[in-house]
Amino acid sequence: MTAKLTKVTKVVADLTAADVGALAVGARAADSAKLEGKTKAQVVSEARSGLANASTTINGHPISSNVTLDAADVGAAPSSHTHDYIPNSVKGKANGVATLDSNSKIPQSQIPAVAVTDTFTVANQTAMLALVAQRGDVAIRTDIRKTFILVTEPANDIDNWTEFLSPSAEVTSVNGQKGAVSLDAGDVGAEPAFSKNTAFNKAFGTGSGQVAQGNDSRIVNAVPNGRKVCGKPLTADITLAAGDVGALPAAGKSADSAKLEGKTKAQVVAEARSGLAAAGASYTKAESDGRYQPKGDYVANLKDALRVVHVTLSADAKTVALPSGRISAILFLSVNGIVQNGDAFTLSGTTVTLAESIKSGDIVTVVGFK
C-alpha cells in the first residue's frame, strides 16, 4: 500500500532538523536520548568497528596514507628482469630443487636415505639366514672361515647369498720373507741368470780378456803343447826344413859322394826304395806308425777329452771333490763365474785345493781334459 500525503503544514523549504527528528548541524546531544540511548563512547566504538588502525603497516608501509608496493617489497623481480629465476614455491619441495644451508651444503632433510652396506659376523648358516640384511650386505661365517654377499633379497634364502672367492690357504711368508717380497736366484737355490755373452762376467771371443766357447777352434783343433814334431815342441808355430826330416833341399844336389855317405846315386835310390810298395800303394801300418802321426779324427778325440764339471758346495771349504774319472788336467777354473788364476788352485787326483776358502752354496766350474 502506498501512503498518501494528506496534510502539509509547512513549506518543504522551511523544514528543520527537529521536524525530522535529527540534531541541527553543529548542535550537541544534551542527553543519551539523542544517541538512541547510547553513550558517546559506545557510538565511537561502533564507528571504529571493522576499521584498521592507522599505524598498521603493509610490508613495512603504514596505511596512514596511500600505500604503493614495488617488486622489492614483495621479494619479487622487477617487471624489467629478463633472467631465469627459481620460484620460492619449488625450493626444497618435491619435484622442485634443493636449497643450500649457511655452509653451502644441502640440508640433511632434503637428502634421500642412502643404502649402506653392513658387514655381519655370524657363527653358521642358520645365523646368516636369520640376518635382517639387504642387498649388498656381507656375512662372515666363522664356522667355515668364508665370506658371503647378499645379491638378492630376501636374506633367508641361501641361494640369494654368493660366496667370495679366496685362496684355500693364507700365505704368511715367501722363503722366509714377509711384506713386499723380492727373491733372487740365491733365495730359491738357483744359479744367477746370465746370458751367453756375459758368462763369467766376460764376453765370448778370441781377444785378450775374453772367454773361449766350447766350440772354439783353438780348443776343438788343439793338441797338447808338449807334443813334438821332429824334435820341435808345439809351444809355438814351427817350421821344418829338409834337414829336419833327413832330406836334401828340393833344389839341392850332392856335390860328392860324401854327401851320400860314400854311396852312389843309384845306391841311395835303391836304399830309398827298399821296403817300399809299388807306386800308388800305402805304407804298412807299422811303417806309417813309425813315420807319421796315426790317422784319426783328432777333433772328435779332443771334444771327447774336454770335460766341464759344476760343483755346488754344501759347506764352507777350501777343497772340492770332482767326480772320479772326469778330469785329470785343469784347463781353467771359476768360482761363481769368476775365473781363478792358475796359482789359486791345485789338482791332486780328484781333489781340487783352493788358495782361499769359499762359501757354502758357491758354484765351482772346472774345465779340463779327461
Strands 119-122 and 138-141: parallel
Question: In this model, does residue 149 exceed pLDDT 90?
Answer: yes
Question: In this model, does residue 140 exceed pLDDT 70?
Answer: yes
Cell of 121: 659376523
- pLDDT band at 265; cut points 50, 70, 90: confident
Whether the CB-CB separation of 21 and 29 falls below 8 Å is answered with no
Whether the CB-CB separation of 362 and 354 falls below 8 Å is answered with no
Cα separation of 351 and 355, whole Å?
13
Map residue 59 onto helix, strand or coil: coil
Cell of 43: 557510538
Query: Residues 6 or more apart from 147 whose CB is under 8 A from it?
Result: 138, 139, 140, 141, 163, 164, 166
What integer best gives the mean pLDDT of the chain? 76
Cα separation of 203 and 267, whole Å?
62
In the chain, count H helices and then E strands: 6, 15
Residue 164 vs residue 177, higher pLDDT: 164
The angle subtended at Cα 30 by Cα 27 and Cα 35, nearest 5°, is: 85
Averaged pLDDT for residues 150-172:
85
Q: Which of 160, 141, 194 is nearest to 365 (CA)?
A: 194
Lowest model confidence (mean pLDDT) among 49-53, 118-122, 154-158, 311-315 = 49-53
Using one digit for the tens of pLDDT, what is the confidence trace for 81-109? 666 677 888 888 888 888 888 888 888 78
Averaged pLDDT for residues 55-79:
78
Residue 30 vs residue 274, higher pLDDT: 274
Sheet holding 338-339, edge to edge: 306-312, 363-369, 329-335, 338-339
Question: In this model, does residue 202 exceed pLDDT 90?
Answer: no
Averaged pLDDT for residues 192-210:
68
Cα separation of 331 and 352, whole Å?
13
The residue assigned the cell 625450493 is 91
Q: What is the pLDDT of residue 1?
A: 45
Averaged pLDDT for residues 346-362:
89
Residue 334 vs residue 53, higher pLDDT: 334
Quote the percentage of the chain above a pLDDT of 90: 12
Amino acid sitting at position 103: N
Question: In this model, does residue 145 exceed pLDDT 60?
Answer: yes
Cell of 293: 802321426
- pLDDT band at 285; cut points 50, 70, 90: low
Residue 327 vs residue 79, higher pLDDT: 327
Cα separation of 31 and 248, whole Å?
191
Q: What is the pLDDT of residue 73?
A: 78
- Burial per residue of 93-124, b for 16 or more beta-carbon CB atoms within 10 angstroms, e otherwise: eeeeeeeeeeeeeeeeeeeeeeeeeeebebee
Question: In this model, does residue 32 exceed pLDDT 60?
Answer: no
Cα separation of 301 and 317, whole Å?
34
Lowest model confidence (mean pLDDT) among 169-173, 238-242, 318-322 = 169-173
Averaged pLDDT for residues 59-77:
78
Cα separation of 161 and 129, whole Å?
9
Q: Is the peptide bond before 87 cis (omega within 30 degrees of 0)?
A: no
Q: Which of 29, 48, 49 is nearest to 39 (CA)?
A: 29
Averaged pLDDT for residues 104-118:
78
- pLDDT band at 175; cut points 50, 70, 90: confident
Whether the CB-CB separation of 250 and 242 falls below 8 Å is answered with yes
Lowest model confidence (mean pLDDT) among 177-181, 279-283, 319-323 = 279-283
Averaged pLDDT for residues 127-134:
92
Tell me the backbone φ, ψ of residue 204, rounded to 5 degrees: -70, 145
Please tell me which of 37-51, 90-104, 109-123 the model is most confident about, judged by mean pLDDT: 90-104
Cell of 231: 824334435
Averaged pLDDT for residues 147-153:
92
Q: What is the pLDDT of residue 195?
A: 60
Please tell me which of 74-78, 275-279, 290-294, 322-326 the model is most confident about, judged by mean pLDDT: 322-326
- pLDDT band at 20; cut points 50, 70, 90: low
The H-or-E segment that residue 338 falls in is strand 338-339
Tally of CB atoms within 10 A around 319? 13
DSSP class per residue in 21-83: T-PPTT---SSGGGGTT--HHHHHHHHHTTPPPTT-EETTEETTS-----TGGGT---TT--S
Cα separation of 54 and 65, whole Å?
8
Residue 243 vs residue 138, higher pLDDT: 138
